[in-house]
Amino acid sequence: MTFEEATELVGTVAHWHHTFEIFPGLKTLGAYEPQFLLDNMQLGGDLKGCRVLDIGPADGFYSREVHKRGAEVVCIDYRPKNQSGFAVMEKLYGVELDFRQLNIYDLPKANLGHFDFVFFLGILYHMPDMLRALMTVRDLPHGALFLESHSENDFCNNVAAARYHVEDTLSKDWTNFWAPNRLCILDMLRDAGIDVIREESWGTRFFAECKVDADRTRARKITYAYQLT
């Protein structure tokens, strides 16, 4: 494919989420550059033999990058891949990844197997029910969980709290519901039986590398609430 053909193809996507070099010398015009977050995950350069679950991959930047490092990648999104830049990314990458149109709450029924890494990046605040989403991710058989979220870190600094955003008042995006602060995210993770290995906040974002506690009684509060087994 020529540079001109690639440019034309990239232009068919109405909105790019990620800004990245999708073709030699050609960058997408997304909302943010995701490379810093990939670096922050500290995954290493060789992921051969690893399985990665990318929840809500958007344009597929993270999926493509870990696949380049040798990982087997499963991508799940509630919308088809031609409604984001994912399908164009695949075409320019030259590899069709394992993409499944699947709601996050249907993950337990999908029987996708064990994953070494689960990416839950930029998803939490889009969930009307954040705790149920965390429990769904918690119950996936996996090693490390990487969570990144919008977080109003200047809101109620001394108490765990989340601000609800009506309609499209958060970034003019109708799919945004919540703006939890750092303490709120940490408390929700604790009640879901998810341990935080390391965490970092910058601006309006929160990042954590997490590991699920095998003792499910840690999550009894949420288990009782949803009558989960």
Confidence check: pLDDT of 216 > 60: yes
Assess whether pLDDT exceeds 90 at residue 222: no
* Four-point Cα dihedral 210, 216, 221, 223, nearest 10: 110
- Side chain identity at 141, as an amino acid letter? P
Average pLDDT, stretch 87-112? 95
* pLDDT score at 218: 83
**Which pLDDT band, with edges at 50, 70 and 90, does 228 fall under?**
low
Q: What is the 8-class DSSP label of residue 31?
A: S
Cβ neighbourhood burial of 69 (10 Å; 0-12, 13-18, 19+): middle
Per the prediction, the chain carries an average pLDDT of 94
C-alpha 45/C-alpha 8 separation (Å) is 32
Provide the pLDDT for residue 142: 83
65-72 mean pLDDT? 98
Residue 14 has pLDDT above 70, yes or no: yes
Helical segments of 33-181, H only: 35-41, 61-68, 86-93, 107-110, 130-138
pLDDT digit string (tens) for 136-180?
A: 999 887 899 999 999 997 778 789 999 999 999 988 989 999 999
Closest among 126, 117, 128, 131 to 189, alpha carbons compared: 131
Is residue 229 pLDDT above 80, yes or no?
no
pLDDT band at 200 (very low <50, low <70, confident <90, very high): very high
Residue closest to 125 by CA, chosen among 136, 135, 134 = 134
In this prediction the pTM is 0.94
pLDDT at 215 over 90: no
Strand residue runs (E) in the chain: 21-23, 26-27, 51-55, 72-77, 98-101, 115-121, 142-150, 162-164, 178-180, 194-202, 205-212
Complete domains list, the chain, with CATH: 32-226 (3.40.50.150)
- Longest distance between any two alpha carbons in the chain, whole Å: 57
User: What's residue 171's pLDDT?
Assistant: 87
Query: Each residue of 17-65: pLDDT tens digit?
Result: 999 999 999 999 998 999 999 999 999 999 999 999 999 999 999 999 9
